[in-house]
């Protein structure tokens, strides 16, 4: 039996169902209306929305051309100070980290035995000189007697040989004296170059030997300093041409290439190419008066090999690479973007030189290229405007 409550519930369900159908129909009609309106606008040639891009104008400027490479600082001269004789170290006259001049007495070795050797050699020479003087007198007497035929010529010849032998002995004694004095001179260890002393390896009182594996200390010449680096073989022509024109200015920068440490000039181009790596070694000289370069330090070196005068330049981010090579997006006077093939060579991370395909003053897209197609309408903005917050 159907009650009045059942009939009311059924009526409400029908009302909800009819309302839902009407809502779907209205949405479909609205979508169709919008589609037809879009179709009419498209048929009428309505303009698509312009794509915002950042542009700059190509300009002419003088561009320095640098060759850059990682490098290592070296001391201009490095000497490991070792003893040339064996003996007891009785004095150390330097402090670690001290600057010394060539000839400075660094250390003293006990020299009593060496002085005695010199004295002995001098005495031996005096003895032989006395024998030589006596032999020369005997030779003079024999030459007088042979003229009187009192002695045979053989006696004169024998005496002459004795004199010559004693002269040679005296000369040998002189050489022995010089050798002994040289050994005595080795008792004083002197600085062979100007430079800065490193850590001391032996203290006073130790026995120092000529064959010790470790030196007494190491002296490095920090002023000037050298930087050794390598460049690819393809850079050889540019470097040689630059050196033929004159001194090649070189700068040393920190390892992150953010701060300049010193300025110098290229001094040596190695005499052969390393065929294993196809690179060439170079050395630059830096005065290093403020000692900002330190031996063993890793730096980045830049050598100025050329300057391109009045070159057409664009920011490096504007340069794109495609199937036909390098290209840029050029904004036409009617604010449409067109791709254009160019010949270019990046000068550094920020500036690119365009050698063909672009004229000064033309507007180039530097940001927003990924959304562009040939003929796309763009909304050009300068870099300053793009960087200014809204």
How is residue 173 written in tokens? 């004694």
* Average pLDDT of the chain to the nearest whole number: 86
- Looking at 141, 174, 208, which one is the last position of a domain? 208
Shared domain check, 270 and 330 = no
| Per-residue confidence band for 2, with pLDDT thresholds at 50, 70 and 90 | very low
- Looking at 208, 238, 268, which one is the last position of a domain? 208
Residues 108 and 387: their CA atoms lie apart, in Å, by 70
- Looking at 273, 306, 339, which one is the last position of a domain? 306
pLDDT of residue 313: 92
Domain-located, residue 194: yes
Shared domain check, 342 and 288 = no
Secondary structure string (H, E, C) spanning the chain: CCCHHHHHHHHHHHHHHHHHHHHHHHHHHHHHHHHHHHHHHHHCCCCCCCEEEEEEECEEEEEEEEEEEEEEEEEEEEEEECCCCCEEEEEECCCCCCEECCCCEEEEECCHHHHHHHHHHHHHHHHHHHHHHHHHHHHHHHHHHHHCCCCCHHHHHHHHHHHHHHHHHHHHHHHHHHHHHHHHHCCEEECCCCEEECCCCCCCCCEECCCCCCCCEEEEEEEEEEEEEEEEHHHHHHHHHHHHHCCCEEEEECCCCCCEEEEEEEEEECCCCECCCCEEEEEEEECCCCCCCCCCCEEEEEEEEEEEEEEEEEEHHHCEEECCEEEEEEECCCCEEEEEECEEEECCCCEEEEEECCCCCCEEEEECHHHCCCCEEEEEEEHHHHHCCC
pLDDT over threshold 90, residue 312: yes
pLDDT of residue 194: 94
Shared domain check, 144 and 233 = no
Shared domain check, 196 and 91 = yes
Q: Give CA angle at 209 (205, 214), nearest 5°.
A: 90
% of the chain with per-residue pLDDT over 90: 69
**Which range is least confidently modeled, 20-24, 197-201, 336-340?**
20-24
- CA 173 from chain center: how many Å? 55
Q: Which of 372, 260, 364 is nearest to 317 (CA)?
A: 364
pLDDT of residue 388: 55
Are 273 and 280 spatial neighbours (Cβ–Cβ below 8 Å)?
yes
Domain-located, residue 38: no
Shared domain check, 171 and 243 = no
pTM of the model: 0.68
Phi, psi of 76 (to 5 degrees): -65, -40
Shared domain check, 299 and 316 = no
Shared domain check, 253 and 197 = no
Shared domain check, 230 and 199 = no
278 conformational bin, left if phi > 0, alpha if psi -120 to 50, beta if neither: left
pLDDT of residue 43: 43
Domain-located, residue 82: no
pLDDT over threshold 60, residue 198: yes
Shared domain check, 274 and 165 = no
Give the range of the structural domain holding residue 150, as residue numbers without chain letter: 87-208
pLDDT digits (tens, 9 = 90+) for 259-283: 999 999 999 999 999 999 999 999 9
pLDDT over threshold 50, residue 78: yes
Domain-located, residue 45: no
| CATH at residue 329 | 2.40.420.20
Total domain count, the chain: 3
Residue count of the chain, please give it: 390
Domain-located, residue 39: no
pLDDT of residue 96: 94
pLDDT digits (tens, 9 = 90+) for 293-306: 999 999 999 999 99
| CATH at residue 283 | 2.40.30.170
Shared domain check, 330 and 315 = yes
Are 54 and 386 spatial neighbours (Cβ–Cβ below 8 Å)?
yes
**Which range is least confidently modeled, 4-13, 89-98, 194-203, 264-273?**
4-13
pLDDT of residue 280: 95
| Per-residue confidence band for 49, with pLDDT thresholds at 50, 70 and 90 | confident
pLDDT of residue 142: 86
Shared domain check, 252 and 153 = no
pLDDT digits (tens, 9 = 90+) for 118-156: 999 999 999 999 999 999 998 888 888 888 888 888 888
Residues 75 and 223: their CA atoms lie apart, in Å, by 8
| Per-residue confidence band for 33, with pLDDT thresholds at 50, 70 and 90 | very low
Domain-located, residue 202: yes
Number of Cα atoms under 13 Å in the Cβ half of residue 277: 8
Domain-located, residue 138: yes
pLDDT over threshold 80, residue 18: no
pLDDT of residue 192: 95
Domain-located, residue 2: no
Shared domain check, 118 and 150 = yes
């Amino acid at each position: 039996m159907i009650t009045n409550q059942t009939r009311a519930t059924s009526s409400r369900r029908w009302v909800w169902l009819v309302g839902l159908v009407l809502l779907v129909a209205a949405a479909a009609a609205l979508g169709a209306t919008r589609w037809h309106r879009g179709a009419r606008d498209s048929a009428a040639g309505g303009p698509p929305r312009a794509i915002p891009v950042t542009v700059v104008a190509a300009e002419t400027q003088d561009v320095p051309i640098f060759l850059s490479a990682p490098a290592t600082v070296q001391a201009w001269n490095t000497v490991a100070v070792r003893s040339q004789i064996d003996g007891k170290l009785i004095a150390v006259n330097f402090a670690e980290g001290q600057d010394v001049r060539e000839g400075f007495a660094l250390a003293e070795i006990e020299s009593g035995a060496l002085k005695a050797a010199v004295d002995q050699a001098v005495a031996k020479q005096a003895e032989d000189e006395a024998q030589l003087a006596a032999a020369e007198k005997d030779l003079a007497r024999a030459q007088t007697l042979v003229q009187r035929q009192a002695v045979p010529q053989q006696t004169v010849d024998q005496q002459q040989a004795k004199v010559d032998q004693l002269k040679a002995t005296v000369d040998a004694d002189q050489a022995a004296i010089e050798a002994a004095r040289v050994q005595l001179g080795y008792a004083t260890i002197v600085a062979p170059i100007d430079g800065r002393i490193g850590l001391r390896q032996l203290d006073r009182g130790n026995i120092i030997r000529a064959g010790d594996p470790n030196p007494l200390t190491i002296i490095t010449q920090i002023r000037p300093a050298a930087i050794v680096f390598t460049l690819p073989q393809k850079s050889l022509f540019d470097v040689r041409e630059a050196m033929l024109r004159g001194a090649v200015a070189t700068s040393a920068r920190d390892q992150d290439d953010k701060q300049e440490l010193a300025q110098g000039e290229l001094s040596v181009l190695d005499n052969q190419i390393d065929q294993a790596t196809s690179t060439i070694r170079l050395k630059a000289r830096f005065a290093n008066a403020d000692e900002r370069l330190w031996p063993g330090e890793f730096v980045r070196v830049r050598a100025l090999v050329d300057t391109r005068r009045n070159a057409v330049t664009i920011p490096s981010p504007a340069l794109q690479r495609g199937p036909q090579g390098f290209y840029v997006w050029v904004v036409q006077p009617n604010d449409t973007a067109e791709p254009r093939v160019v010949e270019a060579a990046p000068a550094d991370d920020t500036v690119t030189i365009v050698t063909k395909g672009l004229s000064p003053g033309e507007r180039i897209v530097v940001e927003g290229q990924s959304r562009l197609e040939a003929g796309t309408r763009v909304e050009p903005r300068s870099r300053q405007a793009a960087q200014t917050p809204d």
